[in-house]
Amino acid sequence: MTKTANKQVICKVLLDAGKKDENVMALCSDSRGSASFTEFARELPGQFIETGIAEQNLVSICAGLANCGKKPYAVSPACFLSTRSYEQCKIDVAYSDTNVKLIGISGGVSYGALGMSHHSAQDIAAMAAVPNMRVYLPSDRLQTECLMKALLRDEKPAYIRVGRNAVEDVYEEGCVPFEMDKATVVAPGTDIAIIACGEMVKPAADAAILLRGKGISAAVLDMYCIKPLDKEGIIKTAEHAKAVVTVEEHAPFGGLGSMVSQVISENCPKRVRNLSLPDAPVITGTSGEVFDYYGLNAENIAKVAEELLKDE
Amino acid sequence: MKNLKALAYKLREDVIDMIVEGKAGHIGGDMSVMEILTELYFDQMNIGPDNMEAPDRDRFILSKGHSVEAYYAVLAEKGFLDIKDVIARFSRFGSRYIGHPNNKLPGIEMNSGSLGHGLPVCVGMALAARTDGRNYRVYTVMGDGELAEGSVWEGAMAAGHYGLDNLCAVVDRNRLQISGNTEDVMGQEDLRERFRSFRWHVIDVADGNDIDQLKAAFEEAKRIKGRPTVLIANTVKGKGSPVMENKADWHHRVPSHEELKQIRKDLEERKEEALRD
């Protein structure tokens, strides 16, 4: 099983693109090492800008570059990029409609034991609330590559969150179903629908396998496109299921669970259980330990799904 | 109108009309910044309705976005907007003439309004010019109260670090902000030393409402190599009529009927005086 960190794929795609298009630029806030962008900075020094530890400046500089025809990618830890520079993202990027792509690396609880200052468990809610800001949480290296190539072709703002750690593949090399702004059906199913994003897609897919062993048919939807939210995809997957489970590496309010619940309650009402991080500073540990503690793993997703079905 | 001193007073009259009709506006800062905008748009920058798509146009951001009424007056005079339309619709329900600059309007590069954004965005523009080997210049105007925003100094640091001599910032140093004197609210002095320590070339413009002094300062800035330039333009808040001048409560205010009569009279007199120069 291949394990690659999604941020490494982002650097590779942008480096390839940057070699062909001098307008593609990467900017880091003393984060080139943690972002895996050292190679970009070394190979394309004329297209790389260091802003130092100044995330507000990072985002505003990107907006200025974009105004002048550049295609800047701000690559910085998601915790700082999404909240320290939130106003710059809102005004200089989204409101002014500049072609800036915000790459939040080491998102969610990637930094595990470093504490709440380094966790980005609010970024989906924060970014999705801004008009004209798109929000993407790709699940594995293959989907990340498809997404980045699609983003290189458009000229609109976007926030992309990826984790720090190497993640297992969800898809198969050479066979990656991907349509921009359409959720990907990872597994079809009729009893229960599991809707997940980012690094939670893999445990959701594994949960479906566990459930299948118990005779339960679980659909799994990879909602990498949080905004614009693929409402049709949600309805199509959920309308015939008896219940829905959402899974996200995010605080319980305003994220994937909230957004999916809005769609289901209006279009095909049924029970929806949101699995997420708590509304509290998370327990100290590696991200894997944190996920296990809060039940963000295949076993618990399957257990919750089973319980929901028993209630029906 | 080729006489820029007189033009600045004519544009102030447009601002007054806008604020009276729209029943809102940041009048004090509009008045203090008028010569700075006039000199930039009618003498310094290669910006106009005919070249707003040209990659080599100069770039401008009104970082003190609340002075948008002054900006609208200048943009209209420049041919971007219809002044009658602006006066009739400014601040009204559904109007596109919002109380802060918006880049859906012709002539406006970026949205502003939240303070401390203009300079960092200009750093990006100046870096783009350098990267592309283009010769355009990048200008921003900030308020002095605005300088309390930390993001200003992130931008100042980067501009100094990268030696952006194609970047010129102006501080509209009218010494008043909404709560009172800047030095009482949050001290700025010594502003010159602050910018110098960030590796900027500093020009102190003794009278920032004097077109000739501003022109000389902008020309000097163009000659400076290897570092960005800031003009500390010592202006008068509410400039144009003693009714408003140097009074903090005219930060945003709609003149009464009596005040309006006096302000119009004072502006007309100063315009006539400028025309005689």
- Using the beta-carbon criterion (under 8 Å), do B158 and A54 form an inter-chain contact? yes
Indicate the DSSP class of residue B163: T
Of A216, A144, A208, A221, which Cα lies nearest the Cα of A176?
A144
Q: Give the CATH number, domain containing residue B158.
A: 3.40.50.970
CA dist., res. B159 & res. B167, Å (int): 8
For residue A73, the model assigns a pLDDT of 98
Does any domain span residue A179? no
Distance from CA of B125 to the nearest CA of A (A): 4
Q: What angle do CA A165, A141, A236 make, to 5 degrees?
A: 110
**Within an 8 Å CB–CB cutoff, is residue B132 touching chain A?**
yes
- Using the beta-carbon criterion (under 8 Å), do A60 and B151 form an inter-chain contact? yes
Distance from CA of A57 to the nearest CA of B (A): 6
Residues A148 and A81 in one domain: yes
Bond from prior residue into A228 cis (ω within 30 degrees of 0): yes
Give the structural domain span for B253. Answer: 4-276
Tell me how far the alpha carbon of residue A191 is from its chain's centroid: 26
Residues A188 and A164 in one domain: no
Encode pLDDT of A174-227 as tens digits.
999 999 999 999 999 999 999 999 999 999 999 999 999 999 999 999 999 999
Does any domain span residue A173? no
**pLDDT mean over B201-207:** 98
For residue B217, the model assigns a pLDDT of 98
- Using the beta-carbon criterion (under 8 Å), do B124 and A66 form an inter-chain contact? yes
Does any domain span residue A138? yes
How many domains in chain B?
Answer: 1
Encode pLDDT of B21-40 as tens digits.
999 999 999 999 999 999 99
Burial class (CB in 10 A: 0-12, 13-18, 19+), B183: exposed
Alpha carbon separation from B232 to B101, B218, B235 (Å, rounded): 23, 11, 9
CA dist., res. A283 & res. B188, Å (int): 44
Main-chain phi, psi angles of A5, to 5 degrees? -75, 135
Helices (H) and strands (E) counted in chain B, each on its own, are: 10, 7
Is the model's pLDDT at A296 over the cut of 80? yes
* Region of residue B63 (phi > 0: left; psi between -120 and 50: alpha; otherwise: beta): alpha
Residues A275 and A210 in one domain: yes
Query: Percentage helix, strand, coil, to 5, in chain B?
Result: 50, 10, 40
Full DSSP string of B101-134: --TTSTT--S---STT-HHHHHHHHHHHHHHHT-
**Within an 8 Å CB–CB cutoff, is residue B121 touching chain A?**
yes
In chain B, the residue whose alpha carbon lies closest to the alpha carbon of A54 is B154
Indicate the DSSP class of residue B43: I
In chain A, the residue whose alpha carbon lies closest to the alpha carbon of B156 is A57
Hunting for tokens 């729209």 — which residue is that?
Answer: B22
Contact B252, B244 (CB under 8 A): no
Encode pLDDT of B92-126 as tens digits.
999 999 999 999 999 999 999 999 999 999 999 99
Chain B residue numbers touching A88 (CB-CB < 8 A): 117, 120, 151
CA dist., res. B73 & res. B18, Å (int): 9
Of B55, B127, B150, the CB nearest to A61: B127
Residues A206 and A271 in one domain: yes
Distance from CA of B160 to the nearest CA of A (A): 12
CA dist., res. A246 & res. A260, Å (int): 8
Residues A89 and A59 in one domain: yes
Encode pLDDT of B144-162 as tens digits.
999 999 999 999 999 999 9
Spatial strand order of the sheet with A184-187 comes to: A184-187, A218-222, A192-196, A243-247, A271-275
In chain A, the residue whose alpha carbon lies closest to the alpha carbon of B130 is A46
Q: Give the CATH number, domain containing residue A25.
A: 3.40.50.970
Residues A84 and A197 in one domain: no
CA dist., res. A301 & res. B8, Å (int): 68
Of A116, A136, A168, the position where a domain reaches its end is: A168
**Within an 8 Å CB–CB cutoff, is residue B135 touching chain A?**
no
Residues A120 and A207 in one domain: no
Helices (H) and strands (E) counted in chain A, each on its own, are: 12, 14
Does any domain span residue A232? yes
Rounded to a whole number, what is the distance in angstroms from the first to the last CA of chain B? Answer: 14
Encode pLDDT of A118-134 as tens digits.
999 999 999 999 999 99
Residue B20 — very low, low, confident or very high, per pLDDT cuts 50/70/90? very high
Residues A126 and A191 in one domain: no
**pLDDT mean over B207-215:** 98
- Using the beta-carbon criterion (under 8 Å), do B124 and A60 form an inter-chain contact? yes
CA dist., res. A5 & res. A141, Å (int): 7
Residue A1 — very low, low, confident or very high, per pLDDT cuts 50/70/90? low
Distance from CA of B49 to the nearest CA of A (A): 17
Contact B45, B215 (CB under 8 A): no
Of B128, B129, B155, the CB nearest to A57: B155
Segment holding B231, helix H or strand E = strand B229-234
- Using the beta-carbon criterion (under 8 Å), do A57 and B117 form an inter-chain contact? no
- Using the beta-carbon criterion (under 8 Å), do B121 and A52 form an inter-chain contact? no
pTM score of the predicted model:
0.97
How many domains in chain A?
Answer: 2
Of A106, A139, A168, the position where a domain reaches its end is: A168
Of B103, B121, B157, the CB nearest to A60: B121
- Using the beta-carbon criterion (under 8 Å), do A49 and B126 form an inter-chain contact? no
Q: Hey, what's the torsion of the CAs at B113, B119, B121, B124, to 10 degrees?
A: 170
Contact B239, B209 (CB under 8 A): yes
Q: Where are any strands of DSSP class E within chain A?
A: 3-5, 24-28, 48-50, 71-77, 101-105, 134-136, 158-161, 166-168, 184-187, 192-196, 218-222, 225-227, 243-247, 271-275
Residues A156 and A285 in one domain: no
Give contacts of B 138-157 with A, CB under 8 A. Answer: 150-151, 154-155, 157
Residue A2 — very low, low, confident or very high, per pLDDT cuts 50/70/90? low
Residues A45 and A146 in one domain: yes
- Using the beta-carbon criterion (under 8 Å), do A92 and B129 form an inter-chain contact? no
Contact B232, B171 (CB under 8 A): yes
Tell me how far the alpha carbon of residue A185 is from its chain's centroid: 16
Q: Which two tokens stand for residue A305?
A: 């799904």
CA dist., res. A75 & res. B45, Å (int): 33
Of A51, A66, A88, the CB nearest to B158: A51
CA dist., res. A137 & res. A124, Å (int): 9
- Using the beta-carbon criterion (under 8 Å), do B158 and A66 form an inter-chain contact? no
Instruction: Enumerate the β-bridge partners of residue A50.
Output: A28
For residue B221, the model assigns a pLDDT of 98
Is the model's pLDDT at B1 over the cut of 80? no
Encode pLDDT of A32-80 as tens digits.
998 889 999 999 999 999 999 999 999 999 999 999 999 999 999 999 9
Is the model's pLDDT at A312 over the cut of 80? no
Of A47, A52, A67, the CB nearest to B110: A67
Averaged pLDDT of chain A? 97
3-class DSSP assignment, residue A199: helix
For residue B58, the model assigns a pLDDT of 98
- Using the beta-carbon criterion (under 8 Å), do A68 and B117 form an inter-chain contact? no
Contact A101, A160 (CB under 8 A): yes
Chain B residue numbers touching A66 (CB-CB < 8 A): 124
Of A168, A203, A218, the position where a domain reaches its end is: A168
Of A52, A62, A91, the CB nearest to B124: A62
Chain B residue numbers touching A100 (CB-CB < 8 A): none
For residue B277, the model assigns a pLDDT of 78
For residue A311, the model assigns a pLDDT of 79
- Using the beta-carbon criterion (under 8 Å), do A61 and B120 form an inter-chain contact? yes
Find all residues with CB under 8 Å of B256, minimum gap 6, and list them.
none
**Within an 8 Å CB–CB cutoff, is residue B169 touching chain A?**
no
Mutate to test the interface with A, among B98, B102, B111 (most CBs of A within 10 A): B111
- Percentage above 90 pLDDT, chain A: 96
Indicate the DSSP class of residue B65: G
- Using the beta-carbon criterion (under 8 Å), do B121 and A67 form an inter-chain contact? yes
Query: Percentage helix, strand, coil, to 5, in chain A?
Result: 45, 20, 35
Residues A221 and A128 in one domain: no
For residue A252, the model assigns a pLDDT of 98
**Within an 8 Å CB–CB cutoff, is residue B111 touching chain A?**
yes
Of B149, B118, B103, B141, which Cα lies nearest the Cα of A94?
B103
Residues A151 and A190 in one domain: no
Give the structural domain span for A267. Answer: 184-310
Does any domain span residue A107? yes
- Percentage above 70 pLDDT, chain A: 99
Is the model's pLDDT at A3 over the cut of 90? no
- Using the beta-carbon criterion (under 8 Å), do A68 and B121 form an inter-chain contact? no
